Structure 1
């Protein structure tokens, strides 16, 4: 389901009912949609699980429906086979609120919905969303990412797709600096296509099936408010983010994970504190691979294949140890600061941010 979280199913979803399962957050990371990169970032998985759980609990308190059930206590008893690759069963009493966890968790318990196959038609016909929704039967993961933006940084794709006036700005041209939007902007992009693309509201409405685009936008804005308020209280600037949602019994619920340094972009004292740090490192230090990725994504549109990675002519280099250590500290210290709890043995957020400032 995703390249950096592992997925466990306890009870599969059916057309009539949600199932149960969990995310296992690993220390793997992905940039430029590549999938798992060559080396893990220590403590990243626990940091993201912690932030995601914290945000889900705040969303529930705000009345926003989600698929979150709790985190798995790291010290809980388990049954089943042992070993690094074993999927050991988790008893219900091991699923707790974040505050009750004995240590930073790496597993999140969730409700599951159906995720049908999305057939690739090829020949310029794209993907068969009608087949997806026929198989979904009214209980499904909406095949969209709903993106919300509070700022427009330099290099944002929004600058290529929209004029400043379209997003409430009074300038004729985009300025050569990051700009804060007067009101958050919501956009829709594809979820399961090999090359993500932004959609018109009409395209998004078709791809969403029976789920309402207006309701998706409303939920995205509610999530943005909750995350932005907490970020401001903790000293962060919340720049943008995304949500994924499921549809069941006529209701839209927030799914996947919300408000982490991978799903959203945050800044602290003018420095990016998110996966963007690693993305920018690769742009500066492995431009050949970044260019090869871009070329492959462009080429796939002209070929009768879905996976652009098969066309990529280069592989990413590994991160140096000093970069891994600095980014690991950023994730852990950022999670501490965002939640207001000293869950990780990490430097203060100011020190950790300074550590990634000049990578």
Structure 2
């Protein structure tokens, strides 16, 4: 049966952005709209949303280390509220707030979802010859990348409206002193559900890359498509794809077989997910190349989409895309969270994190952070003031550059030029030498 929709917002709700966000979510469904088509209704909803000046937010569903999820549980839309908090090394909220970070991340998430979701941006792109015949590329050129973003909320610069997806958190138990996670719920082949994996792509091996910790294993190298163990500074013609856990208390890298098993992916679904990641990674690399920034690696998150005629599920991009998910450099200077990680590497807190994680693993205890703070007495110190200021400028600077190159140039015009941000980090490093 073909559903029929009649757009209507009660007079009492005209000033309530949430009502227009609900309408936006409905417009993405198929069906017949009385009096107008889906696009016109979406445009009208966006116009009314822009006119609504209220700054009220929906109730909190989940408070994360970096962003909050708001809305009514199980009801579209949800709102991602990006904060000025940051997290590194799986620690959660760090001592400092980076002013302006949340607004810049929200803008960039919206930009990347819009850009990758537009089929025209794939039609005009030349894929590497080795990937030119992938069925995923044909889908991208026809429909763009599927994603769950609905758009920024006017007057709430930190907030991105999204379609909710289900999250099935694996149970854990202590089995003979070892922490064991149960992913059996995924065997039911759920749809519109978060894939319990972080999908990591790598174009090379920069300083600090964790890939070097795993490539001593020849079998693992073969699994991810490497003929030999790479060394620092190596670059790859096509992105190398790795998988890690998403919903455990700390990230755990997986073999391809383990990744397929815990997410209950069919062989066809696994290949489709890997190939879609390759294509999105290559497209992102070229976007950043257009502003003079080199992208070394990053991670993407996906949700299972609906089953096709053959019974396999598609995938849609979810969560966020931005400097917190990517490793970016300009003139050899890190313009992502790696700039913050480097401040703490080599210090006592960083060393104690590794010890705490090993102790937790040996005990079957998932709360390694408590071990670090309570037993080892280690917590992160605040950032030096000069580093904090430079870090704040990363986010607005990249958003400004992307806006100028691809999106009309209206965003973050007061932010520093990214070349000046990179130069500032060089000055700090030189002074500390």
Question: Equivalents in 1 of 2:147, 2:381: separation in Å?
Answer: 37
Cα drift, residue 138 of structure 1: 3.4
Match of residue 342, structure 2, among 280, 287, 290: 280
Cα drift, residue 347 of structure 1: 2.1
Residue 183 in structure 1 maps to residue 238 in structure 2: yes
Question: Equivalents in 2 of 1:121, 1:138: separation in Å?
Answer: 26
Match of residue 162, structure 2, among 110, 115, 139: 110
Q: Deviations over 1:223-270 (max 9, x none)?
A: 112211110111010111111111132231111012x11000111111
CA contact (8 A) 2:179 2:364 kept: no
Give 1:308's aligned residue.
368
Q: Cα gap change, 1:116/1:221 in structure 2, threshold over 3 Å: closer, same or farther?
A: same
Instruction: Pick the structure with more helix per residue.
Output: 2
CA contact (8 A) 1:69 1:109 kept: yes
Q: Cα gap change, 1:125/1:329 in structure 2, threshold over 3 Å: closer, same or farther?
A: closer
Question: Equivalents in 1 of 2:91, 2:341: separation in Å?
Answer: 11
Give 1:253's aligned residue.
316
Q: Deviations over 1:199-240 (max 9, x none)?
A: 111111111124621121122112112211110111010111
CA contact (8 A) 1:330 1:356 kept: no
Q: CA RMSD in A?
A: 2.1
3-state SS, counterpart of residue 246 of structure 1: strand
Match of residue 236, structure 1, among 289, 293, 317: 293
CA contact (8 A) 2:239 2:282 kept: no
Cα drift, residue 132 of structure 1: 5.4
Match of residue 184, structure 2, among 116, 130, 141: 130
Give 2:151's aligned residue.
70
Unaligned residue ranges in structure 2 (runs of 5+): 1-61, 120-143, 308-313
3-state SS, counterpart of residue 103 of structure 2: helix
Give 1:88's aligned residue.
none
CA contact (8 A) 1:190 1:196 kept: yes
Question: Equivalents in 2 of 1:115, 1:168: separation in Å?
Answer: 30
Cα drift, residue 280 of structure 1: 0.2
3-state SS, counterpart of residue 301 of structure 1: helix
Farther off after superposition, 229-238 or 119-128: 119-128
Give 1:98's aligned residue.
none
The equivalences for 1:1-359 within 5 A come to 2-10=64-72, 12=74, 19-62=76-119, 63-74=144-155, 105-123=157-175, 124=178, 126-131=180-185, 137-162=190-215, 166=222, 174-175=230-231, 177-210=232-265, 212-250=269-307, 251-258=314-321, 260-283=322-345, 287-312=347-372, 313=376, 314-340=378-404, 341=409, 343-344=411-412, 345-357=414-426, 358-359=428-429
3-state SS, counterpart of residue 181 of structure 2: coil
Cα drift, residue 342 of structure 1: 5.0
Q: Cα gap change, 1:66/1:261 in structure 2, threshold over 3 Å: closer, same or farther?
A: same
3-state SS, counterpart of residue 120 of structure 1: strand
Unaligned residue ranges in structure 1 (runs of 5+): 14-18, 76-104
Question: Equivalents in 1 of 2:251, 2:237: separation in Å?
Answer: 27
Query: TM-score with structure 1 length normalisation?
Result: 0.83
CA contact (8 A) 1:4 1:27 kept: yes
Structure with more contact order per residue of length (Cα contacts < 8 Å, sep ≥ 6): 1
Question: Equivalents in 1 of 2:72, 2:286: separation in Å?
Answer: 35
| Count of residue pairs the alignment pairs up | 319
Question: Equivalents in 2 of 1:11, 1:300: separation in Å?
Answer: 33
Q: Deviations over 1:179-206 (max 9, x none)?
A: 2112111111100111211111111111
3-state SS, counterpart of residue 191 of structure 2: coil
Cα drift, residue 121 of structure 1: 1.7
Question: Equivalents in 2 of 1:303, 1:11: separation in Å?
Answer: 35
CA contact (8 A) 2:191 2:304 kept: yes
3-state SS, counterpart of residue 112 of structure 1: coil
Q: Deviations over 1:120-179 (max 9, x none)?
A: 122225101004555x84331110000011111133222232369746777x6644x422
Question: Equivalents in 2 of 1:333, 1:109: separation in Å?
Answer: 23
Cα drift, residue 20 of structure 1: 2.0
